[in-house]
Amino acid sequence: MTIPTRVLAPLILSILLWGSANAQQDVPARAAPPNIVYIVSDDQGWKDVGFHGSGIRTPNIDALAAGGVRLEQFYAQPMCTPTRAALMTGRYPFRYGLQTAVILSTHTYGLALDEWLLPQALKEAGYETAITGKWHLGHGDAKYWPRQRGFDHQYGPLIGEIDYFTHEQHGVLDWYRDNKPVREPGYSTTLLGDDAVKLIEDHDTKIPLFLYLAFNAPHTPYQAPQEYLDRYMDVADTSRRAYSAQITAMDDQIGRVVAALDEKKMRDNTLIVFQSDNGGTRNKMFAGEGDMSKVNIPVDNGPYRDGKGSLYEGGTRVVAIMNWPGKIKAGGTVGGMIHVVDMYPTLVGLAGGTFDRNKPLDGLDVWPAIAGGAPSPRTEVIYNVEPFRAGVRQGDWKLIWRTPLPASVELYNIAQDPSEKNDVAAANPDKVAVLQKRANELAATMARPLLLQTEFQALRGRLSLPPALPGEELMFDEED
């Protein structure tokens, strides 16, 4: 039997409309983008939190860890500026010249302007963006400042190694609100907490919030209010007492931020990340610019070798947690490798953002590992690539290669020897060769370190030498 077209057409249309309606019912509505509160401490030791067994009291950080996931192989760069650049770009700092040391107070360069930064990507995705705390990605020229790099709001130091009470470095004020210097009383950690809380209280909850809360604690100088020092009167060493007090003061402010999110009814849709920017300081060379001759280094990196400035685990494996009620299972641990560059694609992906304006990312989306228990997609970590050294890990094997004469090569199996006590380079020449080849490949693509270039040019000027020839900026070493 032939069905007339006048009957068939409405029938087909009805079937299609019915199928479309049911298909729409089967697709869940897209979840609202989460608020993101990204908290960074400065030079904090891996062990210097309660949940890693420290005597330093960090109940609020511990609660976030217990209610979320601990990232026990989370890697940062060996020093401050490179880590913050890696977070902002999703790219290793050797790609754009920020791989060596930090931007010094006398320097005028900054994070390359052709990099599309995390706050820019999130702002494009509809977020309100705010930085409360330390920047350290360019201070000598306003074009590098946070308000010019995607942040709607800025408060705190542009460099960060400041006196906690005067907010000065070398007698020069380093405390700003929205590009304008501000001289105000108060302990910097408390002031940063005050600002973060006020941002949350005043926030329009119809708009997702990205709050980058970057404390300068517990970086040198070791200073804390008397009320916090009094909590550690049983600690004999004055440096350790002040350092412990700094961390507890920071922990209290983190608790205030979480409470403000609860009060604002934002907590259930807020992802909180906490990490240190690098391993805790163990070498006075990297502790700060002040006189450290009479200061005992108070930091504890637990089982990991060395600390800030080094390519060993103590300099690069940092304390890190993530917490999002209902989205991240409480009490979990991610044992696989994650690098700070992975935060860019992970966060932008959660925000529903796009990746069409950034340069090729080194970061990987690790959300399935964090929220779903999947293996981390990361099988390689580049600790750093500089003209005078490199650190590369593939799987369990880690190479540290120093090239200034006398050159040295070290190889460790991190799974078997996380404390890096047993150099097995001599017994594994083939593995050494593979990792050296990889380091050389990366070195061939690296940008010149801006710090070395700047200091070399300044030296030539002081010596009244002619301009450097191409490549000469790389021809001096730094003591490891």
pLDDT at 7: 38
Residue 475 has pLDDT above 50, yes or no: no
238-263 vs 188-202: helix crossing angle, rounded to 10: 10
Q: Is 136 a catalytic residue?
A: yes
Q: Which of 52, 107, 136, 139 is catalytic?
A: 136
pLDDT band at 19 (very low <50, low <70, confident <90, very high): very low
| pLDDT tens digits, 265-298 | 999 999 999 999 999 998 877 777 667 777 889 9
Residue 13 has pLDDT above 80, yes or no: no
pLDDT at 192: 98
HEC letters along 385-418: EECCEEEEEECCEEEEEECCCCCEEEEEECCCCC
Residue 355 β-bridge partners: none
pLDDT at 479: 36
| pLDDT tens digits, 196-245 | 999 999 999 999 999 999 999 999 999 999 999 999 999 999 999 999 99
Distance CA 394, CA 381 (A): 7
Tell me the HSE value of 277 on the side-chain side, using a 13 A CA sphere: 32
Could you give the percent of the chain with pLDDT greater than 90? Answer: 84
| pLDDT tens digits, 159-203 | 989 999 999 999 999 999 999 999 999 999 999 999 999 999 999
Q: What's the chain's average pLDDT? A: 91
Residue 332: both structure tokens together: 């979990």
Tell me the HSE value of 184 on the side-chain side, using a 13 A CA sphere: 16
Residue 474 has pLDDT above 60, yes or no: no
- Tell me whether strands 408-413 and 397-402 are parallel, antiparallel or unpaired: antiparallel
| pLDDT tens digits, 428-463 | 999 999 999 999 999 999 999 999 999 988 776 677
Q: Is 153 a catalytic residue?
A: no
Specify the residue for token string 């750093």. 384
Contact 136, 130 (CB under 8 A): no
Residue count of the chain, please give it: 480
pLDDT at 467: 63
Q: Which of 52, 80, 139, 219 is catalytic?
A: 80
